[in-house]
Structure 1
Amino acid sequence: MSEVRSPTLRRRELAARLRALRLERGLTVDQVAEQLLCSPSKVSRMETGQRGATLRDVRDLCGIYGLTDPAQVEYLMGLVREAKQQAWWQSYDLDYYATYVGLEQAAVTLCYYQSTIVPGLLQTERYARAMHEGSMPSEFTAERAGELIEVRIRRQQVLNREPPLELRVVLDEAVLHRVVGGPDVMTEQLSHFSAIAKQPNVTLQVIPFSAGAHPAMENMFTEPIPTCL
């Protein structure tokens, strides 16, 4: 299986590896910052992925940590380059949500539980539009709403890529009965469920009303499992 690449995931992997190298050498953030001639906050942000490290940063950190294996150094340099690549979702100005989309695009498996609405990866365009029309902040323009709907639909490409995302979805039966956008929209959405559930990489299950109370009734969760961290 080929590995799915994502700048978001590469930045996080780089951050984790830099932190691990520092801890292996028994150095504090302040000690590294003193040798790197920068602030401790810069080192901390590089180790949490909040700030992207430059090639020069990584070169100097390899020197500080005594990392001399050319293959390991080049791997870290490669992570820097990949973390700086422009992904399709980065042009939509998604702010904090961009991190989630980046991790979703890199995931090999995604587990959803929803008690009220259809998960984004399973929504039809008309359902997504109705959702946005019902919940979009008043200050959002029609153009901005269109962009966010486009993002939601483009995210679904993970289900048809090679290799495809393995999607496991559990819905409360209430999701099927909540009429979003009117009967025509819901008919289309339910037909989409029927079609997509036939894909070998999609597992769709429904908790019926007859099940009564259950622990997840008032909750929802999404668990993306990436290629690596």
Structure 2
Amino acid sequence: MGGRSGSQVRRRVLARELRGLREAAGLTLDEAAATLDVAPSTLSRSESGQQQISVHVVKSMLDVYGADDRWDELLRLARASRQRGWWQAFGLGERTHLVGLETEATRVREFTPNYLPGLLQTADYARALFVAAGVWGSGASLENAVAVRMIRQERLVDADEPLHLDAIIDESALHRPIGGPAVHRAQLARLLVAAGLPTVTLQVLPLSVGAHPALASPLTLLSFGDLGEPDIAYVEHTLGAVTMDKTPDVERARVCFDRLRTEAAGLADSLALLRGALDRAG
């Protein structure tokens, strides 16, 4: 269920392709909008991936831009961009924006300062986080949020469409007993298992490092492989999240993550820190 079946990134890819075709046809945004009989603002939102584009409108664009050789390819992409993502069946709405991006990604680079990455959490650990944050309430919405998080993890062991995770965890997160002692121990044991997966690279940023470039927040970078979509940076904070796709912003995020990777302990030392935390947890 958790394979690459999303729509958000497909919409972005379609938007980029259509914008390129318009420009190749020598049409300005206003000229194309007038010919297509749509408002320039509407065409601009379509070309930036901010709204869905109907298959009918895509056909009109291909006619106007003289792109007959791309007809079948882009109509398939248009239909894929309008499909409901698997996560939408859980009724979690806009709060699952990261899930839509991650579903299409082939690689995730993530740093977490105060908790462990969602792709490596146990169900009990995730539930304790959600309850503390007060985002999902209780009952069905809470359990649906936990279920989505567990489904996301399936791609780490998917033989056909694997997701590769480079995770850097602040050492303090290894000692924070989220969910209580039993949940904490089970979570640390889960990390040890995950660290052995061929799709997971796990590093710990030791407390001895002191100040570092991501003290203020977690950081996620998503890459999309064969889709050709540029990397996207994603930052969660207490009141929500920010998605960044502008080249300078993404490059800053990439430099930040690379610095963290350099300052983090190596793989063997990271495992030693993790085993030490598990031993102390009892």
TM over 0.5: yes
The one-letter code sitting in structure 2 at the alignment partner of 1:56 is H
Deviations 1:131-178 (A, max 9, x none): 1111114x8342211111111111111211123111100011000011
The one-letter code sitting in structure 1 at the alignment partner of 2:143 is G
Tell me if the contact between 2:195 and 2:201 (Cα under 8 Å) persists in the aligned partners. yes
Partner of 1:183: 181
Partner of 1:153: 150
Instruction: Say which is worse superposed, 190-199 or 154-163, in terms of deviation.
Output: 154-163
Q: TM-score, normalised by structure 2?
A: 0.75
Distance (whole Å) between structure 2 residues aligned to residue 61 and residue 37 of structure 1: 11
By relative contact order (CA 8 Å, sep 6+), the higher-ranking structure is 1
Tell me if the contact between 1:136 and 1:145 (Cα under 8 Å) persists in the aligned partners. no
User: Percent of pairs identical after alignment?
Assistant: 37
Distance (whole Å) between structure 1 residues aligned to residue 61 and residue 5 of structure 2: 24
Distance (whole Å) between structure 2 residues aligned to residue 5 and residue 12 of structure 1: 14
Distance (whole Å) between structure 1 residues aligned to residue 211 and residue 100 of structure 2: 35
The one-letter code sitting in structure 2 at the alignment partner of 1:157 is E
The one-letter code sitting in structure 1 at the alignment partner of 2:26 is G
The one-letter code sitting in structure 2 at the alignment partner of 1:206 is V
Partner of 1:217: 215
The one-letter code sitting in structure 2 at the alignment partner of 1:205 is Q
Tell me if the contact between 2:166 and 2:200 (Cα under 8 Å) persists in the aligned partners. yes
Deviation at 1:37, TM superposition (A): 1.5
Distance (whole Å) between structure 2 residues aligned to residue 226 and residue 97 of structure 1: 21
Structure 1 residues 99 and 15: alpha-carbon distance in aligned structure 2, compared to 1, 3 A threshold: farther
Root-mean-square deviation (CA, aligned residues, Å) is 1.8
Deviation at 1:226, TM superposition (A): 0.9
Deviation at 1:5, TM superposition (A): 4.6
**Structure 1 residues not aligned, in runs of 5+:** none
Partner of 2:33: 33
Distance (whole Å) between structure 2 residues aligned to residue 90 and residue 118 of structure 1: 24
Distance (whole Å) between structure 1 residues aligned to residue 130 and residue 77 of structure 2: 36
1:142 aligns with 2:134: no
Structure 1 residues 27 and 99: alpha-carbon distance in aligned structure 2, compared to 1, 3 A threshold: farther
Partner of 2:54: 54
The 5 A counterparts of 1:93-104 are 93-104=91-102
The one-letter code sitting in structure 1 at the alignment partner of 2:78 is V
Deviation at 1:107, TM superposition (A): 1.0
Deviation at 1:4, TM superposition (A): 4.0
The DSSP-based 3-state class of the residue aligned with 2:203 is strand
Distance (whole Å) between structure 1 residues aligned to residue 19 and residue 97 of structure 2: 20
**Match among 194, 203, 209 for residue 196 of structure 1:** 194
The DSSP-based 3-state class of the residue aligned with 1:96 is helix
Distance (whole Å) between structure 2 residues aligned to residue 213 and residue 28 of structure 1: 48
Deviation at 1:199, TM superposition (A): 0.6
Distance (whole Å) between structure 1 residues aligned to residue 53 and residue 90 of structure 2: 23
Distance (whole Å) between structure 2 residues aligned to residue 87 and residue 172 of structure 1: 32
Distance (whole Å) between structure 1 residues aligned to residue 95 and residue 151 of structure 2: 15
**Structure 2 residues not aligned, in runs of 5+:** 230-282
Distance (whole Å) between structure 2 residues aligned to residue 140 and residue 219 of structure 1: 24
Tell me if the contact between 2:116 and 2:173 (Cα under 8 Å) persists in the aligned partners. yes
Partner of 1:168: 166
